[in-house]
Structure 1
């Protein structure tokens, strides 16, 4: 097989290293790194087209190890970010790196303006979402692989979201596109409200799932066997490590980065399932998720873009996911769609026609009835009019 098919999935490593170098360089370089990564995705997805290939990989173990490498990479990125806002030089890291590079990194860091620290926060949260959550999403689906599960949960700990390994796998995949799924945004919902609601309901769902699991095994709810409590303890350890690196201010900076990374996950949930409807008693089909085959997003996000196949067959490893070019399609690549979702008026202007087209061309008759009711509740005039017209027809 062409080595490019393996190498393309290492693209995220290069992006992560660029982020770390930008954070360490300080000053305008941090903001430049953020802008360069945003441009890479926005422009790259716009001009590079779609990737609909599904090559066969003879050595999938290479791709698994590559996923595991996300943990040390994310640890390095976050350490670089915490160092960049620290008043001291933990572990003598800056002095050592300055000697190696010939650049006075400590002086550059200390001269960094506040606006560039905002860029550091945005960039670090973005990396927690991309390097951390996206990789953990793939790893925590491999419930039969204890190493992958452990690494995946530690990656999720950086965004205070280890419950994702419970709720997403055992809750979301069962109830996706129904009113019982916290991650599926109903028609008309604002993305910022969805971040709050999905986070709260997702945590409650994970707690109930874990409580039932422990009850079946006869184990204590408030003990070491509780994966929810263990997961939160993992996140607290990371906060404590941040405090140890630079005190309470650095710990607060890490918390802010983690919460931004978590918010990105919920924005992605929002755009992946917005407005979809399904009877929970029926099987999940590719039509029940918004899909994208944009080349840059696909290569650097482990085919997360091929969401339609993933929800139809959640156990399929990312490299074997099929593109389903006839599935419902997102507005664009992932980062492009994220940015549109964060502007609610633009989102609803672009997505309302897509949702109504889904009703007409993808939904079965039962789902059209569910969609008509959802349209009436949406508060969006075009949807309500469509529901009214359907009722009269």
Structure 2
């Protein structure tokens, strides 16, 4: 099934090469990396209107895991290189350092985040750990817990700290979601280890926080304080992009509360999707979000696009730009939210997206 993987490899590995060369040599390489992650990606989504085809159900994709592992290892190498380049330690000019910030930051935010998300849903301990460490390197390790144990369980409800309510700006959602997911995730993990009778130091938050501090300390020792500041800036930029994707993919699609106090089942109507060919490959099919919530353990090449799925009017990167302007975003999206929720009510929410066992797949640590 290599033919399924080749477009993903091309879209994701080209910027790795450009950033590696640009971080050291600057010049045309670093500007090419920035243009690839921004103008080129947006342009290709406009030119290639057709969606990438659905993967064959039930087929194994060993090459997909190999690509994900390669991207994770590349990220762990690019993170210190990016910090060094932005800090001016590789001889880049001021303009090239600014380009490095946006080039590396866009890659971490769009490719590394999407790939780490894929890895923390894999059944392999090695792949899961790679995803966890990618998030930890961006000082966002707690997302490993919050995404699986909070978001997948409570998506579309106030119980998900990241849920973007209709009429809520990205900026307000980001501030609320970051602290809420960190604290609620910690409580979930604390309760889990207490039920299992394990010692407190086995809480994965020890790794999330301790690992992040350890990486920053190592950067300070080997690269100096300016590189640590660059690392912090790149991490924050990557975090905002991850939060933006969550915002775009669930904005306003709230599940109805039932008379017994529970919420209606998750369905395809509770996630926004985009079918654009290039950004889908660059983000390892993260834009196929309805099917991901229906099947959290399904490998990214096999994710599908249900015909009834809610679709954003533009690609994820383009909609991210729109969401930076709340009034424009509300004007564009609020009517669409109402239409999708009306469709969900008409459908009777009789096709839950999280079938038997899916919640455990989303929430279990390999």
TM-score (norm 2): 0.87
Q: Is the 8 A contact 2:288 2:304 kept in 1?
A: yes
Q: Which has the larger radius of gyration?
A: 1
Q: How does 1:143-182 map to 2 (within 5 A)?
A: 144-182=123-161
CA RMSD of aligned residues (A): 2.1
Report the secondary structure of 2:345's partner residue. Answer: coil
Displacement of 1:202 after TM fit? 0.6
Matched residues in 2 for 1:365 and 1:141: separation? 29
Tell me: CA distance 1:364–1:197, structure 2 relative to 1, closer, same or farther (3 Å).
Answer: farther
After superposition, the C-alpha distances for 1:111-144 in whole angstroms (9 at most, x for unaligned) are x12x4423322222222223322111111112x3
Q: Is the 8 A contact 2:174 2:243 kept in 1?
A: yes
Q: How does 1:126-137 map to 2 (within 5 A)?
A: 126-137=106-117
Residue from 164, 169, 176 that aligns with 1:197: 176
**Alignment pair present for 1:294 and 2:276:** yes
**Which residue of structure 1 aligns with residue 320 of structure 2?**
338
Matched residues in 1 for 2:111 and 2:218: separation? 20
**Alignment pair present for 1:310 and 2:311:** no
Displacement of 1:85 after TM fit? 3.7
Q: How does 1:64-213 map to 2 (within 5 A)?
A: 64-86=65-87, 106=91, 109=92, 112-113=93-94, 115-142=95-122, 144-213=123-192
Matched residues in 1 for 2:300 and 2:281: separation? 10
TM-score (norm 1): 0.81
Displacement of 1:220 after TM fit? 2.9
**Which residue of structure 2 aligns with residue 327 of structure 1?**
309
Alignment size in residue pairs? 342
Matched residues in 2 for 1:84 and 1:15: separation? 16
**Which residue of structure 2 aligns with residue 4 of structure 1?**
3
Matched residues in 2 for 1:179 and 1:148: separation? 31
* Structure 2: segments with no counterpart, 5+ residues: 350-366
Q: Is the 8 A contact 1:20 1:76 kept in 2?
A: no
Tell me: CA distance 1:346–1:235, structure 2 relative to 1, closer, same or farther (3 Å).
Answer: same
Matched residues in 2 for 1:364 and 1:216: separation? 41
Report the secondary structure of 1:149's partner residue. Answer: helix
